[in-house]
Structure 1
Amino acid sequence: MASNNGRNSSEIYEGQALLYKHTLGFIDCMCLKWMVELGIPDIIHNHGQPITLSDLVSTLQVPPARVGQVQGLMHHLAHTGFFQRVTIHDNIKDKEAYALTVASELLINGKQICLAPLVKHFLDPTLLGSFHEMKKWIFDKENLTIFDISLGCPLWEFLKKNPAYNNTFNEAMASDSEMMNLALNDCNGFFEGLESIVDVGGGTGVTTKIICQAFSNMKCIVFYLPHVVENLQGSNNFTYVGGDMFKSIPKADAVLLKLTLHNWSDNDCKKILENCREAISSKGKRGKVIVIDVVINEKQDDHEVTGLKHLLNICMACLHNGKERTEEEWKKLFVEAGFQSYKIFPFSGYLSLIEIYP
């Protein structure tokens, strides 16, 4: 039987399921936060094998009244891909247990790649609370960010005023940068032949250190906000320089912009790229800019990757008035900043590497 709007009951139920799923979607985030805060991936890893519910609640010292709730949480996290429910055998009977998956392995502390700091940062109540201001933000006429509206200042100013939060932010960005090691293993060709490189917006230098280790004769500079790098120590071919990328950028054969441009509007990106072009052109030879960022390509990407890119686009817009870009939008930026050509290469699951030439 069709409803008043012409939809049959099956279609309406599907719409209801989608609506409820996203209305309750915040619980997915909170379950992830719960898992990380309790260190459950670490517990299973240290256990040496899939862990039963009884062993897990014993390790966590969960009150008996909450054992059923823990089981519900673990079942949901298994359904969403963070654990695998398996059967283990002992001398008495078969038991259900929880094993790690690729996603939860990325949350084990002490591993070279551990994204737990990133999860903790993005699920911090301060950041999450700002997104309740999306209605006010979308009607704002002063081009404020959500942080401007919720906290009274931009993110970068907030970080400068709050050292503890700044530390968690830097830890989050550093953990994400460790993923670069995996991706850069296949990208050494992009850095061969360079005598110097400056990583603009390079944070604490995790990515730059990876490049330095692979190319010990290359002079590497991390160029970032003065209050972030002022107490950081470099080495013979690795240095930290504080400054403002909107004013000038240290001279080098190449400039690296890793997940930097998506933080900024088109006008701001144009200015940054113009300063990059000046930095690589002043040494008397044809340098290049290397951009590691998102390129939206709905025709080629699978549905899940496209969904992630759209979420990132909303995040960048809300927090920084930035954006993720299509190839056509990138091309327009490069041309307006005075560059002559570019090439796009796959870099990681959702990122691309773009070489830009003056």
Structure 2
Amino acid sequence: MTSNNVLKASEIFEGQVHLYKHLYAHAIDCMSIKWMIELGIPDIIHNHGQPISFPKLVSILQIPPSKVRGVKSLLRYLAHNGFLQILRVNHNTEENEGYALTAASQLLVKGTDHCLAPMVEYVTNPNAAHVWSHLKKWTYEDDLTLFDVSLGSTIWDFLGKNPAMNESFNEAMASDSQMMNLALRGCNWVFEGVESIVDVGGGTGTTAKAICDAFPNVKCIVFDRPQVVEKLSGTSNLTYVGGDMFESIPKADAVLLKWILHDWNDEDCKKILENCKEAISGKGERRKVIVIENVINEGQDEQGVTGLKLALDVKITCLLNGKERREEEWEKLFVEAGFGSYKISPFTGCLSLIQICP
């Protein structure tokens, strides 16, 4: 940069590229992923059993000739963003551009135990995406969330009055829980000696079922809003209970809070944790609260992971008046809620597992 804060032409052009990259990616990034799911492209490539040529894919999708160029443009953009791998493959004795799935797009193949397509479908729903156009108004409306400002109600009230969106939300949370279940398989030490556990905000029970499968002797209680669990049936070691976590939580050796606390402000979190402390009835090391959340740590995390955590912090702050927290913020919460100790362990690529004890 030149003196007096005057930009050189090269810096202006570099800034323009940076601005336009984020400006145009705002809608294209998420909507191109949604487009790929709606057309079933991950499933087609997966079922093909090998990289698929562009002509073959166009044929299967029955793309009109006028849209072939546009489809290739979208596929190349998705490949640039890491959702496809471009290869050279043979088709009818001719070499053509072809595509293979990456680790990210394999998560969009339907019918697998790690499919995140429902999460994409919920996040890209027009009702969910529309609220972000009200950020300016949100900034000046004291204590209101983006949902309050844009839809006139909290997200929970909105979901309660919109069964289709509520179902989409529950499916999205269940798909994310599948990813957590994959991580839980390597966490036997967390459940050692635990005879009963209540999964607060456990939705339709995806995580609880995984715990029951891995630990048949553990009694699991899924605790959520009555409208979420009222039509669900349990098993010999899995039960569903409806209620309000701000009032009381069912008794158990341990309590699981999976992506719950980031939805709420510090005062609400303190109340939830106090109720958890009242609920845990196990003895010794069995008596604990297991928290699965983000822990922001710019000093140790990779830049991409930090970027994701900060983006989630913006999302949670604006939509719910919650927040993602740094370790010192977590520690303050635990102490104020009356807990004596905690331990943070790595869990997934961005989430941590925190055990807190009285």
TM over 0.5: yes
Cross-structure match for 1:199: 199
Q: Secondary structure at the match of 2:202?
A: coil
* Superposed counterparts of 1:185-224, under 5 Å: 185-224=185-224
Deviation at 1:175, TM superposition (A): 0.6
Q: Structure 2 CA distance, aligned partners of 1:102 and 1:246? A: 39
Deviation at 1:138, TM superposition (A): 1.2
* Superposed counterparts of 1:127-276, under 5 Å: 127-141=128-142, 143-276=143-276
Cross-structure match for 1:55: 56
**Code of the aligned partner of 1:315:** K
Deviations 1:306-330 (A, max 9, x none): 0000010011111111000000000
Deviation at 1:92, TM superposition (A): 3.0
Q: Structure 2 CA distance, aligned partners of 1:107 and 1:284? A: 42
Q: Secondary structure at the match of 1:134?
A: helix
Deviation at 1:180, TM superposition (A): 1.7
Q: Structure 2 CA distance, aligned partners of 1:356 and 1:54? A: 56
Report the CA distance shift for 1:152/1:8 in structure 2 as closer, same or farther (over 3 A).
Answer: same
- Tell me the TM-score normalised to structure 1 length: 0.97
| Conserved? CA contact 1:173–1:203, under 8 Å | yes
**Code of the aligned partner of 2:82:** G
Cross-structure match for 2:352: 352
Which shows bigger deviation, 6-15 or 302-311? 6-15
Cross-structure match for 1:18: 18
Deviation at 1:3, TM superposition (A): 8.8
| Conserved? CA contact 2:254–2:282, under 8 Å | no
| Conserved? CA contact 1:84–1:99, under 8 Å | yes
| Conserved? CA contact 1:2–1:9, under 8 Å | no
Cross-structure match for 2:109: 108
| Conserved? CA contact 2:270–2:337, under 8 Å | yes
Deviation at 1:185, TM superposition (A): 1.6
Cross-structure match for 1:64: 65
**Code of the aligned partner of 1:170:** N
Q: Secondary structure at the match of 1:236?
A: coil
Deviation at 1:95, TM superposition (A): 1.7
Cross-structure match for 1:279: 279
**Code of the aligned partner of 1:76:** Y
| Conserved? CA contact 1:42–1:108, under 8 Å | yes
**Code of the aligned partner of 2:62:** Q
Cross-structure match for 2:317: 317
Structure 1: 5+ residue runs without aligned partners?
none
Report the CA distance shift for 1:283/1:73 in structure 2 as closer, same or farther (over 3 A).
Answer: closer
Q: Structure 2 CA distance, aligned partners of 1:90 and 1:23? A: 37
Deviation at 1:149, TM superposition (A): 1.2
Deviations 1:183-229 (A, max 9, x none): 01211110110111000011111011111111111111000000100
| Conserved? CA contact 1:296–1:327, under 8 Å | yes
Report the CA distance shift for 1:283/1:179 in structure 2 as closer, same or farther (over 3 A).
Answer: closer
Q: Structure 1 CA distance, aligned partners of 2:182 and 2:238? A: 21
Q: Structure 1 CA distance, aligned partners of 2:265 and 2:294? A: 15
Deviations 1:220-257 (A, max 9, x none): 10000001000100001110000000000011110000
Deviation at 1:182, TM superposition (A): 1.4
| Conserved? CA contact 2:200–2:255, under 8 Å | yes
Report the CA distance shift for 1:109/1:32 in structure 2 as closer, same or farther (over 3 A).
Answer: same
Deviation at 1:11, TM superposition (A): 2.0
Cross-structure match for 2:343: 343
| Conserved? CA contact 2:54–2:96, under 8 Å | no
Deviation at 1:90, TM superposition (A): 5.7
Deviation at 1:148, TM superposition (A): 1.1
**Code of the aligned partner of 2:220:** C
Structure 2: 5+ residue runs without aligned partners?
none
Q: Structure 2 CA distance, aligned partners of 1:219 and 1:53? A: 51
| Conserved? CA contact 1:221–1:239, under 8 Å | yes
| Conserved? CA contact 1:251–1:283, under 8 Å | no
RMSD: 1.5
| Conserved? CA contact 2:53–2:91, under 8 Å | no
